Amino acid sequence: MATENKNLSAYDKASIPNAKDLRFGIVVSEWNSEITEGLFNGAVAALLDCGTQKDNIIRFNVPGSFELPLGCKKMIESQNVDAVLAIGSVIQGETKHFDFVCSATSQGIMDLNLQTDTPVIFCVLTDNTLQQAIDRSGGKHGNKGTEAAIAAIKMATLGK
């Protein structure tokens, strides 16, 4: 397990660029909201800790992870953000639906990264169980939202 020996919430603040003048969009899936709200809270806390002004964090909600790419595209087009975090949670079920949603979501987010100059950070948990999602959204492995926020700051300042 990739996160077994890593705390997703750990970062060295001294090595992170100051985010005071940056604007971030966060697009949050409403599906599995108990997980996505934890990821959102972790992301916001990290952005604020690294200097982002509260007014420079813009949130859009979308129904599910499959809708994240379009939500992110709309965020980029309308909000003048330096980076976007796509937050979702897909938990394995009994059908192939999981595979299709995960594949389409990751492909859509990657496409946005190649089609625009605005980084879109993949913060979509694709877990086998609800417990794994809980463990990665503020539980025993920390918070993937925190990790995604740090990635967003780094990508927003890349080359500057």
Query: Is 141 annotated as catalytic?
Result: no
| Half-sphere CA count of 75, side-chain side, radius 13 A | 31
Environment class of residue 98 by beta-carbon count within 10 Å: exposed (0-12), middle (13-18) or buried (19+)?
A: middle
* All residues at 6 or more sequence positions from 10 whose CB lies less than 8 Å from its CB, including other chains: 142
* Annotated catalytic residue, options 6, 13, 97, 140: 97
CB 106 within 8 A of CB 122: yes
Phi, psi (5° rounding) for residue 129? -140, 160
Q: Which residues pair with 143 in a beta bridge?
A: 137
A 10 A CB-CB count for 92 gives 15
Catalytic site positions: 97
